[in-house]
Structure 1
Amino acid sequence: MMSQEQNDLITRVGPGTPCGKLMRAYWQPAALVDELEGERPIKPVRLLGEDFVLFKDETGRYGLIDRDCPHRGADLAFGRLENGGLRCAFHGWLFDVDGNCIDTPAEPAGSPLCKNIKQRAFPVVAKGGILWAYLGAGEPPAFPEIDCFIAPDTHVFAFKGLMECNWLQALEVGIDPAHASFLHRFFEDEDTSQAYGKQFRGASAGSDLPMTKVLREYDRPIINVEHTEYGLRLIALREIDDERTHVRVTNQLFPHGFVIPMSTEMTITQWHVPVDDTHCYWYAIFTSYAAPVDKLKMRDQRLELYELPDYKSRKNKTNDYGFDPHEQATATYTGMGLDINVHDQWAVESMGAIQDRTREHLGQSDKAIIQYRRLLRQEIEKAASGARPLLALDEAAARAIQGPATMDGIGPSRGWETYWMEVDVKRRRGAPWAAPVPSEIAAKVPHLTAAE
């Protein structure tokens, strides 16, 4: 149990807050690349409690600047793209992607006013189908060379969804291996050959056992947590019998991401990005180690639930997340349909806009959450002191962060420790793109990596 002061420290991310300073040491997802592909590539963005406008100029450069015009505060999200920048619709002041004022047409000819105006502007880069913004001071960090960033565009797909709650409780559901046996429990298993694009509906590697069956019948996992150079590695073990154990390896990617297996061929790298203290977006990059991603199918599957332009779920607190008591009695554990995103959203939004952690009681199955919070407090202190926090990398260090390895499969009860690594390495070896084997994994399975 924690104090209110401790809860505020790890949840509040606005300007001037300790956790906000930590978050501003990293690139943050600001929008999907797709969102600026239309005829008017201008989008209001609220990020870390601040309001900006994101735009793409005529030459294809991206800009992120403060949303209020520095003239008299009008909303630049309603501006026009012309003459090399974004022009305010009120008096025509024009700003380029670097925040420079390049025209004040209502002023007298030759007026020097423009030269003295500078709108706050922030770097933006496109990577993995996401537009990333850096809101911090100084030079931005380098991106780690993790799989979702180095895979070719043909083998990644990005999407997002809005959650009406604090970012931390949204993240914590993703680093909680125990909840899947209950929140995502299904009473019947689907044909695993039809599982493309769906989480928890395929078969575990090395078997024909559907993940849904494993999660349903083996609901007391042994959870191991390891500290890594990128955050945490979580290993959940569910013993099937004396000879076989289900092994699920996931990762916490500091500060607010995780990397999990979606299927034997695909992983999900997902970030929980604070819009402000009471809202967040999850941004996910799906990475394929086999065939190119069917982006149209993946997008259409998700648009059945999420509505544009804000990527809000059609099932939400206003309609009880589609809850059906008959379904709960006969088909699913929650009674909220088959999409696990709905289950997760209900769980984290039901805690309140900001979970009151002074009232919670944690158990042994919450060890990953306990260790993550300890890590988060440690890195908040580090950022406050001016030191470089975990995974805020320079170019040399970024090249050393690879992977991370994930796996969901049935392996030997004796020898699972190397089994999951072997499965990950074999998948990387078979990928049509150069998926590197993380050095720590390569050192432990030399019989698979000696050819390098």
Structure 2
Amino acid sequence: MLTSAENELLCRVEGDSPMGRLMRRHWVPAILSEQLQPDGRPIRVQLFGEKLVAFRNSDGEVGILGEFCPHRKASLAFGRNEECGLRCLYHGWKFDTDGSVLDMPSEPKESALREKAKHLSYPTREVGGFVWTYMGPADLMPDFERPSWAPQENTRVAIAKIELPCNWAQIMEGQIDSAHSSSLHSSDMRPAKGEATAKDDHWVRPSTDKNPRIQVQLTGYGMRYAAIRRPITNSNTHDYVRITTYVAPFTALIPPNSSYNVASVIVPRNDTSSYFHFIAWANEDKLGIETDAWRKFCVLVLGDDVDANFRPIKRNAGNDYLQDRDLMETGHFTGIPGIPNQDIAMWESMGSIADRTQERLGASDIAIVQFRRLMLEAVQEFEKSQQVIGQVEPKLPQAKLCSYQGVVEKTLPWRMLGASDEEVAVLQGLEEDETEKEMAGAAA
């Protein structure tokens, strides 16, 4: 469990909070590219409690500006997006994607106010189905790099999205927690002989083991951990290993199946709400899945399960997520359709910010404990030295990071499974450093 102070440090992201300032030093996946059309309606975005508006201009360029016009603070979300600028309805002030004033019809033409009234804006990039933004100090902006789920320009990416009324950390812990999948998702992750595969309405994996052994490997970008289970066949000589990779602070790479890789991206909206993205991506040897089919599989269909702003339409805490008790009587474990919806019911039931001071953790929670320790130490180090997790040497490109699943011989060390050649070299170096520290400590 955590102390109350540690829980606050982990969860709070608004204003001058240490975790929020740390996260702002990363490029943030702010909004889906599909939400913005040239000269289309501006979209409200909230990140770390800051209210913003995103728009795509006539030339297809994206701007992310402060939501409220610098003139009289009317919302630019009502503005006219036209002729390569966003015009406030109140007095007609017009801004480009960089926040510069293009027109100020309410002021005399000779007024110098236009040069002085540059509006708050953040830089943007578009990759992997997202518009990204950087919200930290301009002179410390890191180079933008491709994310793990879009390592190449032609990577096939399908994204399901939903806005949730709970803190980012309990969602991320749900993505890192492998043990829960054997219970909560047992109707959608079914045991069967063979390899892990994706069917139209469920996944198959080669194990009935509900008690995985959890082992963690810390890295410079976050951590990798293995959930090791008994496979259905050859359990005396083999293990079924699922490796989840946490890329701090926003991304969890979930073990893949035969058709596509899986990732989760959690972006804090404010202290008590978050944007959750569930991603299927594939290239090279995997076929992938189309966006509409992926959202149907997740039961997060746009216009049916979520509205145009990706807020839930049907299922929420007020109606118990339409849990079907009759369906449970016939064998469905939760009575809630869709893997994400099952998770959402659990996350939201913890409250807007989970109270970690009252928990009783067990052996299956080792990865959760390590995640909390990792991020608390990362934010404390940031406060002390301005060192940003994932941005110190030896640094690996995110596009080289991945997860892993497979049945392997028990004698095969899991720590290098699924790692690229570049990552293997770094991981071996980290292990050698840890061995030297242990030996030095023993000698002392």
Corresponding residue of 1:227: 218
Contact 1:223 1:237 in 2 (8 A): yes
Structure 1 residues not aligned, in runs of 5+: 426-436, 446-452
Identify the residue that residue 209 of structure 2 maps to in structure 1.
218
Shift of 1:299: 4.2
SS of the residue aligned with 2:5? helix
Indicate if the aligned counterparts of 1:128 and 1:158 stay in contact, CA closer than 8 A. Answer: no
Distance across 2 between alignment mates of 1:389 and 1:68: 30
Q: Quote the offset at 1:292 in angstroms.
A: 5.5
CA contact (8 A) 2:47 2:269 kept: yes
Q: Structure 2 length as normaliser, TM-score?
A: 0.86
On the 8 A contact 2:223/2:246 being kept in 1, the answer is: yes
User: Once the 2 structures are TM-superposed, how far is the Cα of residue 81 of structure 1 from its aligned partner?
Assistant: 1.6
The residue number in structure 2 matching 1:33 is: 33
Unaligned runs of 5+ in 2: 429-444
CA contact (8 A) 2:267 2:274 kept: yes
- Residue 366 of structure 2 corresponds to 367
Which structure exhibits the higher relative contact order, with contacts defined as CA atoms closer than 8 Å and separated by 6 or more residues? Answer: 1
SS across alignment from 1:307: coil
Equivalence map 1:378-397=2 (5 Å): 378-392=377-391, 397=395
CA displacement 1:392-441 (0-9 Å, x = unmatched): 369x9454x443232222233333638x83xx48xxxxxxxxxxx34244
**Distance across 1 between alignment mates of 2:196 and 2:411:** 29
**Following the alignment from structure 1 to structure 2, what is the Cα–Cα distance between the partners of residues 70 and 414?**
64
| Residue 247 (structure 1) aligned with residue 247 (structure 2) | no
1:270 deviation in Å? 1.7
CA drift of 1:175 comes to 0.7
Q: 1:159: which partner in 2? A: 160
Q: Which residue of 2 aligns with 1:282?
A: 276
CA drift at 1:56: 1.2
Letter in 2 for 1:221: P
Q: Aligned-pair distance for 1:359?
A: 1.1
For residue 265 of structure 1, give the secondary structure of its aligned residue in structure 2. coil
Distance 1:81 1:312 in 2: 23
Kept in 2, the 8 Å contact 1:66–1:121? The answer is yes
SS of 1:114's equivalent in the other structure is helix
Contact 1:147–1:287 (Cα < 8 Å) also in 2: no
Matches within 5 A, 1:274-423: 274-289=268-283, 290-291=286-287, 293-301=289-297, 302-303=300-301, 306-313=305-312, 314-337=314-337, 339-392=338-391, 397=395, 399=397, 401-415=398-412, 417=414, 421=417
The normalised TM-score by structure 1 is: 0.84
Q: CA RMSD in A?
A: 2.7
Whether the 8 Å CA contact 1:58–1:84 is kept in 2: the answer is yes
SS in structure 1 opposite 2:183? helix
**2:164 corresponds to which letter in structure 1?**
M
Q: Name the CA distance, whole Å, in 1 between partners of 2:136 and 2:175.
A: 26
Note if contact 1:404-1:438 (Cα within 8 Å) is conserved in structure 2: no
Partner of 1:257: 251
Does the C-alpha gap of structure 1 residues 378 and 197 become closer, same or farther in structure 2, counting only changes over 3 Å? farther
The DSSP-based 3-state class of the residue aligned with 2:150 is: helix
- 8 Å CA contact retained: 2:263, 2:278: yes
**Within 1, Cα distance between the matches of 2:342 and 2:279?**
20
Q: CA deviation at 1:12?
A: 0.6
**Contact between 1:144 and 1:393, CA under 8 Å: does it hold in 2?**
no
Classify 1:145/1:295 alpha carbon distance in 2 versus 1 (closer, same or farther; 3 Å): same
Match of 2:116? 116
SS at match of 2:170: helix
Determine if contact 1:158/1:285 at 8 Å carries over to the other structure: yes
Matched residue type, 1:245: D
Q: What is the one-letter code of the residue matched to 1:173? A: G
1:66 aligns with 2:63: no
Distance 2:188 2:20 in 1: 42
Aligned length: 416
Deviations along 1:241-281, one digit per CA (max 9) or x if unpaired, are: 21232111111111132001241232122221111111101
Give the stretch that moved more between structures: 182-191 or 88-97.
182-191
1:52 and 2:52 matched = yes
The 1-side partners of 2:383 and 2:60 are apart by 36
2:107 maps to a residue whose letter is E
Check the 8 A contact 2:188/2:339 in 1, yes or no. no
Counterpart Cα distance in 1 of 2:426 and 2:155: 30
What residue identity is the alignment partner of 1:237?
I
Q: Which amino acid aligns with 1:409?
A: G
SS in 2 for 1:149: coil
